[in-house]
Amino acid sequence: MTGPRYTPLIASLPDAVPFVGPEAIERTTGHRFAARLGANESLFGPSPVAIEAMAKAAADSWMYGDSQNHDLRHALASHHDVAAANIVIGGGIDGLLGSLVRLLVDPGDAVVTSKGAYPTFNFHVTGHGGVLHAAPYRDDHEDPRALIELARETRPKLIYIANPDNPMGTWHDAAKMQAMIDALPQDCLLILDEAYIEFAPHGTAPEFNTDDPRVIRMRTFSKAYGLAGARVGYAIGHSDLISSFNKVRNHFGMARASLAGALAALADQDWLEHVQTQVVTARDALADLARANQLSPISSATNFVTMDCGRDGGYAGRVVAQLAQRGVFVRMPFVAPQDRCIRVTTAPAQALKIFADALPDALKAAQTAS
């Protein structure tokens, strides 16, 4: 009995998964993590108003969500001072990246990113047969100039950059990002992933220019708004590009309670400020902790601190594993030379203390095992 006839592209893809989640690790080890500091979720939580809105919306879950996501789109438009026609809502930035890649990338098409940048973007590109060209990081920063140079060589349909960056936490100011935009080859679309922008200093995000068809900005409720589990992201761009998502998106795909939660979270800017303040405090605490353990913290404009362990990826991997054995979930960058680091999410003091207590022994064990 023969099986389904997959497309040649699908048949050629490996059975790879972009990330192993913390629950999957817990099931493998048989132990729950005591501190979940590996996925850059917000341990400060979403606004209580958002939780209440979601709880209230649960009873309405017999209804499909609004296929046009009207209320959230209009609230975001007002918040960012752009038109609702410039905004598309999706299932997190992950979902939007998948749709965007599908809109532009055919097998063989070039795509430019940084070596060690967001793996889920790569997953989507590879999944559509795109050919990734990656520029190295420079001094632990994504390198706009190198990306533009690579784009001039390879004429990609898409260029991806995150600002601030994940997994390093570094960032460029708005002037530098605007210079990158100004230098874009005419027919390349820049994806500016700003998942962590709410944690960055004022003046990190360039002005929105929705007349420019060469840039699409990605934002999310998963990080500063604390709603990773609700799966709500959005993209801001030229109205032609935004409306093209209608050709491929799952129109009734958004969960009703998630939309309600995001809408309430957006309205509670006081909570956002509270989280921003807490994250700055926790970043400082994590940096101090790193130094106290002879690790070098990298300056961060995100809700995590990446710490240089001073040796190779094998060593950092052992540190991650030893922390996991002690109930602490952290991650590390995927490729050299960034993989000499571990990446630790900010959190309230209680969770940081679990990390602080585990770190010295974990480092010692990782050194011994080498």
**x-or-dash pattern for a copy of itself, window 146-185, by CB under 8 A?**
-----------x----------------------------
Out of 81, 108, 247, 370, the only residue in the binding site for a copy of itself (CB under 8 A) is: 247
Out of 31, 252, 281, 349, the only residue in the binding site for a copy of itself (CB under 8 A) is: 252
Is the Cβ of residue 170 or residue 346 nearer to a copy of itself in the bound state? 346
Is the Cβ of residue 10 or residue 369 nearer to a copy of itself in the bound state? 10
DSSP assignment string, 303-351: SEEEEE-SS-HHHHHHHHHHHHHTTEE-B--SSTTGGGEEEEE---HHH
62-81: contacts with a copy of itself (CB under 8 A): 62-68, 70
Min separation Cβ 14 and a copy of itself, Å: 8
311-350: contacts with a copy of itself (CB under 8 A): none
For the stretch 64-67, contacts whose Cβ atoms lie closer than 8 Å and that sit 24 or more positions apart, written own/partner, are: 64/252, 64/256, 65/252, 65/254, 65/255, 65/256, 65/258, 65/259, 66/259, 67/251, 67/252
Stretch near a copy of itself under the rule CB under 8 A, chosen from 5-13, 138-146, 196-204, 362-370: 5-13
Is the Cβ of residue 163 or residue 303 nearer to a copy of itself in the bound state? 303
Stretch near a copy of itself under the rule CB under 8 A, chosen from 87-95, 287-295, 301-309, 350-358: 87-95
CB–CB of 339/115 below 8 Å? no
Min separation Cβ 368 and a copy of itself, Å: 32
Give the whole-angstrom CA distance, residue 310 versus residue 294: 9
Min separation Cβ 113 and a copy of itself, Å: 17
> Under the criterion CB under 8 A, does residue 139 sit at the interface with a copy of itself?
no
User: Any alpha helices (H) in 20-127, and if so which ranges?
Assistant: 22-29, 48-58, 70-80, 92-104, 119-127
Give the whole-angstrom CA distance, residue 193 versus residue 191: 6
With CA atoms as reference, report the closest residue to 196 among 261, 275, 123, 288: 275
Give the N- to C-terminal CA distance of the chain in Å, as an integer: 50
Give the whole-angstrom CA distance, residue 111 versus residue 125: 8
Min separation Cβ 294 and a copy of itself, Å: 31
- What string of H, E and C letters represents the secondary structure of 267-300? HCHHHHHHHHHHHHHHHHHHHHHHHHCCCEECCC
> Under the criterion CB under 8 A, does residue 130 sit at the interface with a copy of itself?
no
> Under the criterion CB under 8 A, does residue 256 sit at the interface with a copy of itself?
yes
For residues 64, 70, 72 and 76, what is the CA-based torsion angle, rounded to 10 degrees?
160
Give the whole-angstrom CA distance, residue 288 versus residue 292: 6
Min separation Cβ 370 and a copy of itself, Å: 31
With CA atoms as reference, report the closest residue to 37 among 362, 369, 359, 346: 346
270-309: contacts with a copy of itself (CB under 8 A): none
26-65: contacts with a copy of itself (CB under 8 A): 27, 36, 39, 41-46, 50-52, 54-65
Q: Is 216 helix (H, G, I), strand (E, B) or coil?
A: strand
Token pair belonging to 257: 């309670």
Out of 21, 201, 314, 360, the only residue in the binding site for a copy of itself (CB under 8 A) is: 21
Is the Cβ of residue 8 or residue 30 nearer to a copy of itself in the bound state? 8
Is the Cβ of residue 6 or residue 369 nearer to a copy of itself in the bound state? 6
> Under the criterion CB under 8 A, does residue 2 sit at the interface with a copy of itself?
yes
Min separation Cβ 9 and a copy of itself, Å: 8
209-238: contacts with a copy of itself (CB under 8 A): 212-214, 222, 226-231, 238
